[in-house]
Amino acid sequence: MKSAILITYNREDAINEAKGLCDAAGYEVVHTITQNFLQKPKYGISGGALEKLEELSEKLRPDVIVFDEILKPHQNYSLASVLHREVLDREGLILEIFESRASSAESKLQVKLAQLRYEMVRAKEKVRLSSMGEQPGFMGIGKFEIDVYYNDIKHRMQTVRSKLEKAGKQRDLHRQGRKRMGFKTISLAGYTSSGKTTLFNKTTGEAKTQSKELFTTLTTTIRRLIINQEPFLISDTVGFISKLPAYMIDAFKSTLEELVHTDIIILVIDINDSVFELKKKFSSCMRTLSELGVEKDKVVYAFNKTDLQKKEEIQRKIDFLNLTENEKVISVSAKTGENIKELKELIKDVIESQNSQKFNRNSLEGVAESFGN
């Protein structure tokens, strides 16, 4: 696993999320530096913090420095020159995660488009700087080369867009492949650091150390899970990310495409979040699921990390989300294993009711047909 020094905001939720993003991208965080402000002009951070970072970078020799904010190209360049390390900003990190997780032809193209867009913004900044004569030969490139580079990105974006139009048709082939395997599928969804991977490991009974597990989930995000002697395939999806830039939304959604075809979605919700965060994240998840065209009755809501909260507090938070009587709700601890057995039973019940519904629908169709003729 590659190593990273992480620079993020001085807030627990920001730290947890940034660490979660590093994990998902396959970086082990060897040190975390927190700051109240990450948008200082030259390096993003203050001179004092930079000195400390320089020392740490020299000592720990990480593969990358992850900067949990958007960096302008000149900031990235300045940081990398001082630290002699590759610097990955927040958007660059998110794009790496999407790239490693995109599986269908369509999602690969969506991610490519987002990557080009990311480069485009940076190329524009270079053009602007060089035309102001502010930094002649900035990053070793002159005005002419930047123009060529910029036009090349534009051209490549057009190519990807036209490929995307065609890729839509291939999607159906992909879907059929899945069906043929004959397994019922379960997908884990939810925000980064809500506990999807921990739950994935707990339900499938893996016993490796966590960092290794996190790494293996990058390559093998699908495992077999047996409930009542029936085999299922369970998969760990890309997590929702707070403050996702608008231009990345299509790429993100396309990596979630499997949620449309899966039989059960376990929406993992971190009960440890504040009521405000909980509500905000919950509505964002629900909005995205509905935009993807997911049927609501296959969603199981798993309120996770119950080991960190009192029973009354957990209930208060669940009540706050106004879930109706019909929704399938369960509180679990992926860490201690509390209610995992009950979660599996709930899954089994949902599958059974789906089967009987399908049976009813089929028999009704049969009746309609015989009457029609």
Ligand X SMILES: Nc1nc2c(ncn2[C@@H]2O[C@H](COP(=O)(O)OP(=O)(O)O)[C@@H](O)[C@H]2O)c(=O)[nH]1
Burial of 76 (0-12, 13-18, 19+ CB in 10 A): buried
Taking CA atoms, 262 is separated from 26, 91, 107, 295, in Å, by: 26, 29, 17, 10
Per the CB < 8 A criterion, the answer to whether 68 and 38 are in contact is yes
Among 57, 197, 237, 288, binds Mg ion (CB under 5 A): 197
110 lines the binding site for Mg ion (CB under 5 A): no
Site for Mg ion (CB under 5 A): how many residues?
A: 2
Phi/psi for 295 (5° steps) reads -75, 130
| Residue 266 C-alpha from the chain's centroid | 15
For the sheet containing 86-89, what is the strand order? 27-35, 2-9, 64-67, 86-89
For the sheet containing 222-227, what is the strand order? 222-227, 230-236, 184-190, 264-270, 299-304, 328-331
The neighbouring-strand residues paired with 31 are 5
Considering the complex, what minimum distance in angstroms separates the CB of residue 270 from ligand X? 8
**Closest CB to Mg ion among residues 104, 197:** 197
**Closest CB to Mg ion among residues 107, 197:** 197
195 lines the binding site for ligand X (CB under 6 A): yes
Measuring CA to CA, which residue among 26, 102, 94, 98 is closest to residue 258? Answer: 102
Q: How many CB atoms lie within 10 A of CB 144?
A: 9
73 lines the binding site for ligand X (CB under 6 A): no
**Closest CB to Mg ion among residues 108, 196:** 196
Distance between CA atoms of 309 and 305, rounded to whole angstroms?
Answer: 7
235 lines the binding site for Mg ion (CB under 5 A): no
Distance from the first to the final alpha carbon of the chain: 64
295-314 positions binding ligand X, by CB under 6 A: 304-305, 307-308
DSSP for residue 70: P
Distance between CA atoms of 347 and 186, rounded to whole angstroms?
Answer: 9
Considering the complex, what minimum distance in angstroms separates the CB of residue 332 from ligand X? 7
DSSP for residue 239: P
Considering the complex, what minimum distance in angstroms separates the CB of residue 23 from Mg ion? 6
Considering the complex, what minimum distance in angstroms separates the CB of residue 330 from Mg ion? 20
Find the part of the chain contacting ligand X (CB under 6 A) among 133-141, 175-183, 194-202, 357-365.
Answer: 194-202
Find the part of the chain contacting ligand X (CB under 6 A) among 73-81, 178-186, 331-339, 348-356.
Answer: 331-339
Find the part of the chain contacting ligand X (CB under 6 A) among 57-65, 73-81, 116-124, 328-336.
Answer: 328-336
Considering the complex, what minimum distance in angstroms separates the CB of residue 108 from ligand X? 22
**Closest CB to ligand X among residues 78, 333:** 333
**Closest CB to Mg ion among residues 267, 350:** 267
**Closest CB to Mg ion among residues 5, 241:** 241
Considering the complex, what minimum distance in angstroms separates the CB of residue 203 from ligand X? 12
H/E run at residue 107:
helix 105-131
Site string for ligand X, 147-186 (x = CB under 6 A): ----------------------------------------
Find the part of the chain contacting Mg ion (CB under 5 A) among 55-63, 145-153, 190-198, 243-251.
Answer: 190-198
Handedness of CA 291, 297, 298, 300 (dihedral sign): positive
Q: Which does 126 bind (CB under 5 to 8 A by kind): ligand X, Mg ion, none?
A: none
**Closest CB to ligand X among residues 76, 235:** 235
List contacts with ligand X (CB under 6 A).
20, 23, 190, 192-198, 239, 304-305, 307-308, 333-335
List contacts with Mg ion (CB under 5 A).
196-197
